[in-house]
A = this chain, B = another copy of it.
Amino acid sequence: MKRRQFVGGLAAAASVAACTGEGPECESGAAQSSEMFEWSCVTSWPPKYPGLGIAVNNLAERVEAASDGRLKIKVYGGGELVPAFEAFDAVSRGTVEMGHDASYYHKGKIAAAQFFTAIPFGMNAAELNGWFYYGGGIELWRELYAPFDIVPFPCGNTGVQMGGWFNREINSAKDLEGLKMRIPGLGGEVIRRAGATPVTLPGSEIFTSLQTGAIDATEWVGPYNDVAFGLHKAAKYYYYPGWQEPGAGLELMVNSEAWASLPPELQALVELAAQAITTDMLAEYTHGNALALQQLKDNPDIEVRPFPDDVLRVLKGHTQDIVDEQSASDPAWKKIAESYYAFMNKSTDNQMATEVAFLNTRAL
């Protein structure tokens, strides 16, 4: 695998005959617009993983096509170039120009990054985009990542996820006590406070752990990804809704120097492509989840169930506590949380009067 080394300095791979930034050939607009770029994009997904992984491959192909080959992006699955979950560091250091993953993977470094993927009981996909593009969310995100030399872009959303697979019934909050569940991030801390034991497992170990009883439950994404993963063969109860991830937004990260090296037309193209992929990924999930959930409902070995309100109320209470505690000690978190919840609180009435009231007519 041959690729250009990108070690700080000039970020763009100039084509043989193109302007390199200072020569006289840069004086011609025509020469400028023939400048070529070959970028690498690392991800935390298995290569071409449905939804998450396909989306970034689509982004790369469509940017290459729309730039007439001027911006080529080679996409790497997790572990192919850098380990999964190390995309942030690779982009920050300039080892690669671009990365695609979920901002909450960086919570160890920047707790507030979680707001840009999903917060338990937080915003759904439509609201998150409303906040990102019209409520100041992207500006807060860029400010948060600037010290790491990363320019982030929203790029994809899974929609509201499912609550997960359980090998026992959850009839009250008491049933969470002692439960060993694979659930990362803030959701994990929430169930810990509810008496359960959150565990983190690589994707490859989830199925076996659930099947052997090493864990009692796991959340993953939604029917489209979960069925492909075989989770319905390892547990009986499939609970909803995904209180822990109500519309997980994915991120495209671009190294700041690499970004600055792109001419304005290719910057505009990357922004368009990232925003297009948000529509496209949510469409893929909306379609794929619909079909996969029907399969599960037709499967006599599976029970698809709502969490009892009592359970959701307890989980919501713990979430609120955690958000408030973090605000007390983390100014970046506090600033972002204030903007996030200010919009979400204003948005709820509209979501209930439109999406919820409308979808409820399906049962009439």
Which A residues have a C-beta under 8 Å from some C-beta of B? Answer: 30, 33-34, 62, 65-68, 121, 124-127, 129-135, 159-162, 222-223, 240-243, 246, 263-266, 268-269, 271-273, 275-276, 278-280, 282-291, 293-294, 297, 304, 306, 309, 312-313, 316, 343, 346-362, 364
Contacts and interface: CB of A to CB of B under 8 A. Distances in A.
A347 B290 contact: yes
Contacts of A222: 350, 354
Nearest to A296: B349
A289 to B, nearest CB: 5
B353 A355 contact: no
Contacts of A223: 350
Contacts of A125: 126
B66 A241 contact: no
A353 B272 contact: no
DSSP class of A's interface residues: helix, strand, loop or mixed?
helix
B269 A160 contact: no
A312 B361 contact: yes
A131 B67 CA distance: 28
A364 B316 contact: yes
A297 to B, nearest CB: 6
A347 to B, nearest CB: 4
Given A68-B265, A241-B358, A349 B272 contact: no
A251 to B, nearest CB: 14
Given A62-B272, A66-B266, A134-B286, 20 more contacts: A33-B68, A65-B265, A67-B265, A121-B362, A127-B286, A132-B283, A133-B280, A162-B353, A222-B354, A240-B353, A241-B353, A241-B361, A242-B354, A243-B361, A271-B276, A290-B343, A293-B349, A293-B353, A304-B353, A306-B353
